[in-house]
């Protein structure tokens, strides 16, 4: 079910071939082959500790590959950082620091400014537009620590939008938020994909993956399956991906994988969750 992506390399925004990596000598991902084309909205699914976050870190250039090849926008990871937006599960933020929502979103513009330029009218417009898209325009002068967990997720997505990247790497962007926020964020991601952007997002929500994403990559230390989003409804794919985390109730397959409760994750693939709303 997983085709080798070599033939698609020159058409892919993100391309991995034979990639393995890990932490402290222990493998977290092995022999990963994956090609993701521009305009793709891809869900990365799998059990806790399967390597989903590690996969995004590889693409972002934050995790070195032990072996294999990776290209992001035709270059090794990290070379095209201005054209990529990476949003981790948890931001390392001092929530008491006197920085406003607008200030945080403006940070998405800094990589394109260079070391000596100050934000101009175009940058302020991009920030206002991004905040409008995520429904946070009325909070532009709110101190970041005053926001709920769901509002913070909206703001950090706005920061990514303000950067106007070609590739989004989003670690659980809709986990732990209320249904309205999830739908709003997915509408934004769908629109970005339609405009030709590449969105790669990890998620524990298989229903959301099946209904709102175009494609899925099922991961459990390797790529179990990669293809149309309907794959997350395939019992054989679910069994291979989640193993003993499956339960069949009334003929329906249920995944027993709680996105809000993590045992010690593999290696340094640490997981955090904010409050919703």
Q: What is the mean pLDDT of residues 138-144?
A: 95
Of 8-22, 97-111, 192-206, 263-277, which gets the smallest average pLDDT?
Answer: 263-277
Between 271 and 277, the higher pLDDT residue? 277
More confident residue, 199 or 8: 199
Per this entry, what is the length of the chain? 277
CA distances (Å), 2 to each of 34, 113, 161, 218, in order?
8, 40, 31, 10
Describe the strand order of the beta sheet including 167-171 as a list of residue ranges: 84-87, 167-171, 198-202, 41-45, 215-219, 223-228
pLDDT for res 273 = 40
Taking residues 147-176, what's their average pLDDT?
92
pLDDT of residue 7: 56
How much of the chain, in percent, has pLDDT values that exceed 90?
A: 63
User: How much is the pLDDT for 254?
Assistant: 60
**What's the whole-number mean pLDDT along residues 262-269?**
42
What's the pLDDT tens digit per position in 216-236? 999 999 999 999 999 998 988
Q: Comparing 19 with 10, which gets the higher pLDDT? A: 19
User: Which pLDDT belongs to residue 243?
Assistant: 82
Mean pLDDT, residues 113-130 taken together: 88
Average pLDDT, integer, range 133-148: 94
pLDDT at 130 (0 to 100): 96
Question: What integer is the mean pLDDT of 13-38?
Answer: 96
């009218």: which residue's tokens? 121
User: What are residue 253's phi and psi, to 5 degrees?
Assistant: -90, 125
- Pairwise CA distance, residues 43 & 216, whole Å: 5
Give the model's pLDDT for residue 252. Answer: 56
Strands 67-72 and 41-45 come out as: unpaired
Task: Identify the residue with better confidence: 205 or 90.
Answer: 205
- Please report the pLDDT score of residue 257 as a whole number: 59
Percent of the chain at pLDDT exceeding 70: 83
What does the pLDDT read at residue 245? 62
Sorted by where each starts, the structural domains of the chain and their CATH numbers stand as: 6-255 (3.40.50.300)
Question: What confidence score (pLDDT) does residue 269 get?
Answer: 41
Mean pLDDT, the chain, whole residue set: 86
Residue 272's pLDDT band, with cuts at 50, 70 and 90, is very low
């Amino acid at each position: 079910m997983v085709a080798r992506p070599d033939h698609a390399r020159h058409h892919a925004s993100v391309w991995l071939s034979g990639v393995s990596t890990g932490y402290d000598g222990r493998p977290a991902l092995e022999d990963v082959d994956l090609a993701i084309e521009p305009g793709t909205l891809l869900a990365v699914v799998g059990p806790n500790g399967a390597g989903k976050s590690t996969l995004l870190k590889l693409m972002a250039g934050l995790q070195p590959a032990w072996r294999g090849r990776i290209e992001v926008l035709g270059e090794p990871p990290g070379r095209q950082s201005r054209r990529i937006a990476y949003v981790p599960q948890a931001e390392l933020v001092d929530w008491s620091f006197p920085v406003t929502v607008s200030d945080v979103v403006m940070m998405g513009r800094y990589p394109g400014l260079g070391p000596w330029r100050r934000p101009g009218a175009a940058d302020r417009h991009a920030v206002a537009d991004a905040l409008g898209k995520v429904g946070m325009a009325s909070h532009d002068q709110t101190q970041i620590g005053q926001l709920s967990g769901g509002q913070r997720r909206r703001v950090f997505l706005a920061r990514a939008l303000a950067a106007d990247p070609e590739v989004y790497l989003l670690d659980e962007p809709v986990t732990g938020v209320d249904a309205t926020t999830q739908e709003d964020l997915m509408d934004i991601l769908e629109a970005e994909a339609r405009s030709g952007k590449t969105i790669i997002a990890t998620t524990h929500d298989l229903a959301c993956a099946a209904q709102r994403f175009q494609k899925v990559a099922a991961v459990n230390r390797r790529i179990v399956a990669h293809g149309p989003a309907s794959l997350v409804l395939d019992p054989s794919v679910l069994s291979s991906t989640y193993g003993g985390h499956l339960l069949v109730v009334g003929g329906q397959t249920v995944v027993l994988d709680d996105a809000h409760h993590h045992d010690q994750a593999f290696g340094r693939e640490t997981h955090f969750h904010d409050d919703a709303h």
